[in-house]
Structure 1
C-alpha cells in the first residue's frame, strides 16, 4: 500500500508560479525539543494535574484493503510526580475538527474528491498523534519543553496516554508547573521500551481556532493499486474580532504535501516604501549585496544529532568545515537553541562563512511578549557578532502555520529591528514563507518593513515538476513573491529534494532524482538560494509524504 497526500496547489512552471502547501514549516525544530530529554525539571518543581479524556487518536499504517484495520499502538507509560492536589477529570464528546480525510483508491484511474467544509465554533484542543522511529531500548519522547528566565508558574496542556482493561486512550492533561529558577524544563515526557526498531506513536496536543476549514475539491490520477489519498483542510475563513490568526495551530501533527487545484487569484502587487536598509539592485530574483558569487550561496544548518540531541562544538566544527569545502559562502540558522550562536558562529568565522540568522516563531504565537521570542532576541543581543551576519530572518512560515497574522508579523519585525538595532545590528531583514501565504491576502504591512522578500520553495511538492525542472520552478516562485512586494529582490531560504518518500505525480524522491534537482537549481538560480539541508534528520516525524527525514544533500554535493 502506498500513501499519497493531496492539498490545494496551483501549478505554473514557466511564466508564472505555484501556490503550494508546505510539509515542513520547521515544526520539526520544536518537535526536536519534545524529543530532547537532556534537560528536565529539577525535583523541587511541583505539578498539579487536571485531565480531559478524548477519543483514541492513534495514527496507523495505510490499510491494505478498503476496510481499515484496528490500530495496535505501542503502549507507553508516563512517569508522573505525586500531585499536590486531587486531580480532576472531565469526559468530553469527541470533537469534530479538520483533520485530513483518508480516501482509498483501490485501482488505477482518475478520482474526484468533493470539497468538504467543517465549521469550528470555539477553540478546540484535541489529542492527535505523531510517529517516530526509534531503535531498540528505552526512549523518552514527547512532553512539552519550555524555557523560563526566572522562577515562574506555567499552566499548559500536554498529551499522554492511559491504559484501562487493555484499552489505550489518548488524554490531554493540564498541569500547573512551578519552577523555582531560570532554566529549560520538559513537562511530562513519555517513556517507552521497545525490543527492536519500532515506529512509536506519541500523543500530541493540537489546537484548532474558530473558523471555517475547507478541504478543496481535488482531481487526481492514480497509477497504482490500493493508494490512500489524504485530503487536508487548508483554509480557515472567519471574521476575527481581534487581530488573531484564525488558521489552525497544530503543535506537532504531521504535515501534508500538496497536489493540484485551481490557482487562486493573485492579489495586486503593493509598492511599499523603502525599508530601513534597502538592498541595492532591481527586483525579481537576487540583486543587491546578498547572494553568492557562484552556484552555491548558502546551506541550512541545525546542530542536532540523529537522535535529536544537541551536537558538541567539535561536531559542529567538523560539519561547518565540510560545508565550507564545497564552496558554500553562508549558513542559514533558524533559532538560538542548542548553543547555535556560539558554536556555529565560531565555526563559521573559523572557516570564512557568513551567517543568515533566524528568529523562530512557533505555536505560542507571534506576540512580542512571547517568552520564547524574547529569549531568542536576548541571546542575539548578547552574542552580537554582527560582522558575520548577512541577513536576519524573522519567522519561518509563521503565516502558513497560523502562528501570526500579517499585521502581527509586521509588528514583530519592527520590534526585532528596534531590539537588535539597539545592540548594533544594521543589516537587512526579511521573513520567509510559502507562496500561498503571500497570495492569501494583503501583504503590504510585511512588505513595508522588510528589505528583501524571501520564500521557501520545494519543487517536490508540485506534482507537475520533474527533478530536472526544479530550478525553473524555484525561479518562477521567487518572481511571484517579488511582484507581490512591489519588485523587491527575492531570495529562496529553503530549497532541495528528498532522497526517499512517496511519488507526488511527476515528482519522485530518490538519490538520482535529488542530484538532478539540485543540479537544475544550481544552474538556474544557485547564487540566490539556501539549500535544504546538510544531513538527513532521523529524529523528525517522517510525515505523510514519508520524506521529512531525507532531505540531506550529502550525496548530491559529495560529502
Structure 2
C-alpha cells in the first residue's frame, strides 16, 4: 500500500507508546442458525489467539440475542479475551432486554472482560432513528454501567459516511469513542486502490469528529473484503482480493488504529466476508503480516 497523507496524519497524531486493539467481529450464530455455546465461543477465541497477530479482542453485536453475553463472557474470562459489547438500540423492549443482559453479565462475571460498549450499530446509516434519540440511549447506557462501577468507554458504531454527516453531531458528542465501518468494496473501489480508499474514509471520519469533539478517538469497527459474491462496480469479490486487502490494510492498521476485522465467519451471505469456513479453516492466509 502507498503511504498516503491520511495514514501519515493518523500516525503523527498518536503517541508512540500506544498499544492498539486488534480484533475480529464474531456473530453469535453457527452455520445451522443455532446459537454458539460457551464451548464454541471458547474454540473461536482460542483460534484467534493462536493467530500470529495474537488476537485477544472481539466485537459482539448484541447482548441478549442468542444469549450472547451469557454464553460468551465465561469463554472470554477463561481465554483472556476482551469484548467490545454490542447493545442493540432499536425497539425499546429489545433495548431494555439488552441492557438487562449486560447488567446480568456484569453481576455474574465482574467487569474486566469489557473492552468498551457500543450502543447501536449502523442505526444512523439505516435511518432507524435520529441522532438525538440515539445520543440519549448512549447516555442511558453509560449512566447504567457507571452506576455499577464500569468505567469502560461507551460509544456507537456506524458507517464512515454517517459520521461525516453533520446532522449526526449529537451522537459524536455523546460517544466516548467513534466506531467507524468502512468498506472500499461497497465504494466500488478496484482492489489496487482499495487501501487508499479505506484510509481516506478513516481520515474523513477523523476530520468530521475533530470538528465536533477534538481529539476523540476513531476506531475501525468493521472493514474487510468479501471472498465471494457479486462485483460492486470495479470491486471484485474473491479470495485473492480478500487476501490482498488483508495484507495491504490489516497488516498496517494493526499498528496504527484500534481495529476489528469483518468477519470471523459469515454464513449464507452474499457477498460473504468470512475468513474462516464452517469447519473452522482459514479461507486465506492470515500469516502474511
Which interval holds the TM-score relative to the shorter structure? 0.7 to 0.9
1:290 is displaced (CA, Å) by 6.7
Q: Secondary structure at the match of 1:299?
A: strand
Task: Report runs of 4+ in structure 1 exceeding 6 Å deviation.
Answer: 281-290
Q: Does 1:529 align with 2:259?
A: yes
Q: Does 1:516 align with 2:244?
A: yes
**How many residues were matched structurally?**
266
Unaligned runs of 5+ residues in structure 1 are 1-12, 17-280, 365-369
2:224–2:273 Cα contact (<8 Å) kept: no
Query: Could you tell me the TM-score, scaled by structure 1's length?
Result: 0.44
1:432–1:493 Cα contact (<8 Å) kept: yes
1:329 is displaced (CA, Å) by 2.1
Partner of 1:485: 209
Q: Does 1:299 align with 2:40?
A: no
Q: Secondary structure at the match of 1:426?
A: coil
1:550 is displaced (CA, Å) by 4.3
Q: Does 1:458 align with 2:183?
A: yes
Q: Secondary structure at the match of 1:555?
A: coil
Which of 172, 192, 213 is equivalent to 1:447?
A: 172
Unaligned runs of 5+ residues in structure 2 are 277-281
- Label 1:290 to 1:392 Cα distance change in 2 as closer, same or farther (>3 A): farther
Q: Does 1:373 align with 2:95?
A: yes
Partner of 1:225: none
Which of 352, 376, 380 is equivalent to 2:80?
A: 352
Query: Could you tell me the TM-score, scaled by structure 2's length?
Result: 0.83
Give CA-to-partner distance per residue, 1:323-358, whole Å, 9 cap, x none.
111111201111122222132212222222111111
1:419 is displaced (CA, Å) by 1.1
Q: Secondary structure at the match of 1:454?
A: strand
Q: Secondary structure at the match of 1:386?
A: coil
- Label 1:389 to 1:406 Cα distance change in 2 as closer, same or farther (>3 A): same
Write the distance in 2 (CA, Å) between the matches of 1:470 and 1:349.
Answer: 36
Write the distance in 2 (CA, Å) between the matches of 1:453 and 1:283.
Answer: 19
Partner of 2:199: 475
Partner of 1:552: 275
1:518 is displaced (CA, Å) by 0.9
1:484 is displaced (CA, Å) by 1.2
Q: State the structure with more CA Rg.
A: 1
- Label 1:414 to 1:353 Cα distance change in 2 as closer, same or farther (>3 A): same
- Structure holding more helix per residue: 2
2:162–2:168 Cα contact (<8 Å) kept: no
- Label 1:372 to 1:531 Cα distance change in 2 as closer, same or farther (>3 A): same
Partner of 2:279: none
1:283 is displaced (CA, Å) by 9.1
Write the distance in 2 (CA, Å) between the matches of 1:288 and 1:477.
Answer: 25
Which of 112, 118, 129 is equivalent to 1:387?
A: 112
- Structure holding more strand per residue: 1
1:497–1:509 Cα contact (<8 Å) kept: yes
Q: Secondary structure at the match of 1:335?
A: coil
Give CA-to-partner distance per residue, 1:96-151, whole Å, 9 cap, x none.
xxxxxxxxxxxxxxxxxxxxxxxxxxxxxxxxxxxxxxxxxxxxxxxxxxxxxxxx
Partner of 2:160: 435
Give CA-to-partner distance per residue, 1:444-482, whole Å, 9 cap, x none.
32222212222111111122341x543333222122112
Give CA-to-partner distance per residue, 1:389-439, whole Å, 9 cap, x none.
111111100111111101111111011111111122111121111122123
- Label 1:286 to 1:312 Cα distance change in 2 as closer, same or farther (>3 A): farther
